[in-house]
């Protein structure tokens, strides 16, 4: 579902006034958070989608990493998960078994317990998980706390939507895109632990609405503006090559661009391939972290020591008239 369609649906939901609901639907955050006690809050999230690659085991791994990411983005620790399965009766059950095997192995890596799930028959495979995590109520990290002068740090390269589309269309070979597959399989736990240790102002993970779409959610939730530097943003090299042909564009690049058309300003010297990649829908993408200028260097060092190759990609500024997001070279 596109950003505009989802926004139209959510705006009609009744306002919830429960004092223990710390994060709901108001700011399009990554997950919901509910306070149980003064020392404990629960994080709930859910995600599922059709296969983006052919290998079922790897698809299961990516699906799990993707679902867990919402909890990591909120500064929480995932603890429990449940399968969500749609599977055609005509297909061999060994395919589903491999999907679940891949997912279960990734959950074990994260220290998460699989406690059940639900399945239906469908014409197309769809798989994902609901995830429950824990966090201290005063240590929740939302997308609404970015402050002027904050540095924006991104923890994974951009471009997996274009790469997986080209792969499905036979325009790319698996060996050409292994770095993107490895990125999607990798957990955001190390990046999350680092930002919890250093202390940051806001965070979101980059998924279906692309880098600029999720940055817009953070900017609007924080009542801020943001500037991005394209030359500082990490892109998968193969994605830069593949995106030059429109046949390799996921459909949501177009809808993501249309939704943000009146809210962003992109410099005239930005090449079309980079503009399209800024709207590319990601699966199991990295964290976009807003951190104070006093702490960003410490965070980069902590991320590097944890094996996370992070980049400073932009900066937060006070909201002004005109574009909320500015993209420069």
Whether 257 and 324 share a structural domain: yes
Considering the domain boundaries, does residue 13 fall inside one? Answer: no
Q: Indicate which CATH number applies to the domain containing 122.
A: 3.30.1330.10
DSSP code of 187? -
When pLDDT is cut at 50, 70 and 90, the band that residue 4 belongs to is low
Domain boundary among 139, 171, 190: 139
Work out whether the CA dihedral 197, 202, 204, 206 comes out positive or negative.
Answer: negative
Whether 133 and 155 share a structural domain: no
Whether 118 and 194 share a structural domain: no
Whether 263 and 289 share a structural domain: yes
What is the rounded average pLDDT of the residues 101-128?
Answer: 98
What is the rounded average pLDDT of the residues 211-237?
Answer: 97
| Amino acid 3: pLDDT | 57
| Amino acid 143: pLDDT | 96
DSSP code of 208? T
For the chain, percent of residues with pLDDT exceeding 90: 90
Domain count for the chain, please give it.
2
User: Which residue did the predictor score with more confidence, 174 or 33?
Assistant: 33
Q: Distances from the Cα of 90 to the Cαs of 58, 94, 95, in angstroms?
A: 21, 12, 11
Q: Please report which residue ranges of 111-198 form alpha helices under DSSP H.
A: 160-168, 178-185, 189-198
Considering the domain boundaries, does residue 86 fall inside one? Answer: yes
Domain boundary among 81, 105, 139: 139
Identify the burial level of 310 via C-beta atoms within 10 angstroms of its C-beta, where 0-12 means exposed, 13-18 middle and 19 or more buried. Answer: buried
Whether 74 and 222 share a structural domain: no
Q: What is the 3-state secondary structure (H, E, C) of 240-273?
A: HHHCCCHHHCCHHHHHHHHHHCCCEEECCCCCHH
Whether 171 and 299 share a structural domain: yes
| Amino acid 67: pLDDT | 98
Whether 314 and 226 share a structural domain: yes
| Amino acid 176: pLDDT | 78
Whether 121 and 175 share a structural domain: no
Whether 72 and 204 share a structural domain: no
Q: Please report which residue ranges of 11-92 form alpha helices under DSSP H.
A: 56-73
Whether 274 and 243 share a structural domain: yes
| Amino acid 175: pLDDT | 82
| Amino acid 1: pLDDT | 56
Lowest mean pLDDT segment, chosen from 23-27, 107-111, 153-157 = 23-27
Domain that holds residue 54: 31-139
What is the rounded average pLDDT of the residues 208-224?
Answer: 96
Domain boundary among 139, 166, 184: 139
Residue-wise pLDDT for 272-296, tens only, equals 999 999 999 999 999 999 999 999 9
Q: Is the pLDDT of residue 301 over 60?
A: yes
User: Which are the contacts of 163, defined by CB distance < 8 A and separation ≥ 6?
Assistant: 172, 177, 180, 236, 238, 239, 242
Considering the domain boundaries, does residue 14 fall inside one? Answer: no
Considering the domain boundaries, does residue 5 fall inside one? Answer: no
Q: Are 296 and 198 in contact (CB under 8 A)?
A: no
Whether 319 and 175 share a structural domain: yes
Whether 40 and 77 share a structural domain: yes
Backbone angles phi, psi at 317, to 5 degrees: -140, 165
| Amino acid 173: pLDDT | 85
Considering the domain boundaries, does residue 22 fall inside one? Answer: no
């Amino acid at each position: 579902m596109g950003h505009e369609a989802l926004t139209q649906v959510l705006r009609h939901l009744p306002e919830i006034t429960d004092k223990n609901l710390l994060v709901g639907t108001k700011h399009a955050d990554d997950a919901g958070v509910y306070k149980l006690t003064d020392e404990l809050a629960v994080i709930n999230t859910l995600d599922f989608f059709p296969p983006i690659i052919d290998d079922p085991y790897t698809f299961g791994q990516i699906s799990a990493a993707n679902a867990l990411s919402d909890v990591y983005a909120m500064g929480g620790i995932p603890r429990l998960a449940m399968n969500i399965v749609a599977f055609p009766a005509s297909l061999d059950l060994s395919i589903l078994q491999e999907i679940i095997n891949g997912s279960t192995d990734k959950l074990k890596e994260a220290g998460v317990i699989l406690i059940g799930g639900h399945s239906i028959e469908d014409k197309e495979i769809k798989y994902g998980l609901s995830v429950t995590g824990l966090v201290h109520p005063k240590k929740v990290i939302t997308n609404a706390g970015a402050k002027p002068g904050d540095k924006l740090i991104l923890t994974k390269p951009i471009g997996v939507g274009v790469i997986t589309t080209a792969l499905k269309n036979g325009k790319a070979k698996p060996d050409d895109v292994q770095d993107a597959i490895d990125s999607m399989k990798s957990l955001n736990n190390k990046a999350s632990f680092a930002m919890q240790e250093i202390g940051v102002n806001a965070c979101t993970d980059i998924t279906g609405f692309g880098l600029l779409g999720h940055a817009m959610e953070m900017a609007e939730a924080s009542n801020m503006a943001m500037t991005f530097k394209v030359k500082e943003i990490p892109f998968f090299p193969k994605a830069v090559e593949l995106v030059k042909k429109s046949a390799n564009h996921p459909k949501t690049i177009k809808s993501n661009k249309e939704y943000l058309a009146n809210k962003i300003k992109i410099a005239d010297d930005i090449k079309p391939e980079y503009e399209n990649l800024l709207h590319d829908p990601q699966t199991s993408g990295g964290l976009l972290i807003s951190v104070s200028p006093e702490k960003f260097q410490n965070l980069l060092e902590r991320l590097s020591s944890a094996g996370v190759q992070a980049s400073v990609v932009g900066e937060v500024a006070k909201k002004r008239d005109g574009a909320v997001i500015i993209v420069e070279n």
